[in-house]
Chains A and B, each alone.
Chain A
Amino acid sequence: MNFDFSDDQKYLRDEARKFLEAQCTIAEVRKVLDDDTLGHNAEVWQKVVEMGWLGAAIPEEYGGLGLGMLELCVIAEELGRVLAPVPFSSSAYYFAEAVKLAGSEDQKTALLPGIADGSFIGCLATTEGPGAISESAIRAQFRDGKLTGTKLPVTDGDIATHAVVLAKDGGASCLVVVDLRQDGVSRKTLKTIEPTRGHAEIAFDAAPAELLSSGAGNGMVALDQILNRAAVLLAFEQLGGASRCLEMATEYAKERQAFGRPIGGNQAIKHKLADMYVKNEVARSNAYYGAWALSTNAAELPEAAAAARVAASEAYWYASKENIQTHGGMGFTWEVDCHLYYRRAKLLAVQAGSPAVWKEKLVTALEAKNAA
Chain B
Amino acid sequence: MDFKDSPEEAEFRAEANAFLSQHLQPKVANGIRPGNRDDFLKRAKDWQKIKAENRFAQITWPREIGGRGGSPMQQVIWNQEESKFDAPTAPFAIGLGMCVPTVIAFGSDEHKQRYVQKALFGEEIWCQLFSEPAAGSDVAGLKTKAVKDGDEWVINGQKVWTSGAHYSDYGIVLVRTDPDVPKHKGLTMFIIDMKQEGVEVRPIHQASGGKEFNEVYFTDVRIPDKDRLGEPGMGWKVALVTLMNERLAVGGSPGPDWAEIMDYARSSGSMTDAAFRAKLADWYVAAQGYKLTKFRTQTALSKGETPGPENSIGKVITANHLQDICNSAIEMQDHFGIISDKEHAPSDAIFQESFMWAPGLRIAGGTDEILKNIIAERVLGLPQDVRVDKDKAFSEF
Question: Contact residues of A with B, CB < 8 Å?
Answer: 1-6, 70, 246, 250, 253-254, 261-262, 264-265, 267, 269-271, 273-275, 277-278, 281-286, 288-289, 291-292, 295-296, 303, 306-307, 310-311, 314, 356, 358-360, 362-363, 366-367, 370
Contacts and interface: CB of A to CB of B under 8 A. Distances in A.
B278 interface: yes
A253 B310 contact: no
B385 A285 contact: no
Contact of B262 (A1, A273, A310, A366): A366
Interface class of chain A by DSSP? helix
A254 B381 contact: yes
A270 B295 contact: no
A363 B1 contact: no
Interface class of chain B by DSSP? helix
Contact of B285 (A4, A286, A288): A286
Contact of A363 (B277, B298, B302, B377): B277
25 contacts: A1-B5, A2-B1, A2-B2, A4-B1, A4-B300, A6-B1, A267-B369, A267-B373, A267-B385, A274-B371, A274-B372, A274-B373, A274-B375, A281-B289, A285-B289, A288-B296, A292-B1, A295-B1, A306-B281, A307-B285, A310-B282, A358-B281, A359-B278, A360-B278, A366-B262
A250 B380 contact: yes
B1 A262 contact: no
B357 to A, nearest CB: 22
A70 B281 contact: no
A70 B372 CA distance: 32
A19 to B, nearest CB: 24
B288 interface: yes
Given A1-B3, A265-B384, A310 B281 contact: yes
A282 B285 contact: yes
Interface of B: 1-5, 9, 73, 259, 262, 271, 277-278, 280-282, 284-286, 288-290, 292-293, 295-296, 298-300, 302, 310, 313, 316-317, 369, 371-373, 375-377, 379-386
A322 B292 CA distance: 26
B313 to A, nearest CB: 5
Given A282-B317, A310-B282, A3 B372 contact: no
B376 A2 contact: no
Contacts of B379: 277
Contacts of B289: 281-283, 285-286, 311
B292 A253 contact: no
A270 B382 contact: yes
A273 B292 contact: no
Contact of B4 (A2, A253, A264, A366): A2
A352 B386 CA distance: 45
Given A250-B382, A282-B313, A288 B282 contact: no
Contact of B281 (A3, A264, A274, A362): A362
Contact of B376 (A273, A306, A310): A273
A264 B3 CA distance: 38
Given A253-B382, A277-B379, A366-B262, A3 B3 contact: yes
A311 B287 CA distance: 11
A274 B1 CA distance: 28
B373 A307 contact: no
Contacts of A254: 381-383
A285 B280 CA distance: 18
Contacts of A291: 1
A259 to B, nearest CB: 10
Nearest to B373: A270
A168 B299 CA distance: 47
A359 B280 CA distance: 8
B256 to A, nearest CB: 15
Contacts of A270: 372-373, 376-377, 380, 382, 385
Query: Which of B262, B376, B379: most chain A Cβ within 10 A?
Result: B376
Contacts of A267: 369, 372-373, 385
B280 to A, nearest CB: 5
A278 B317 CA distance: 8
A78 to B, nearest CB: 18
A288 B295 CA distance: 10
B293 A285 contact: yes
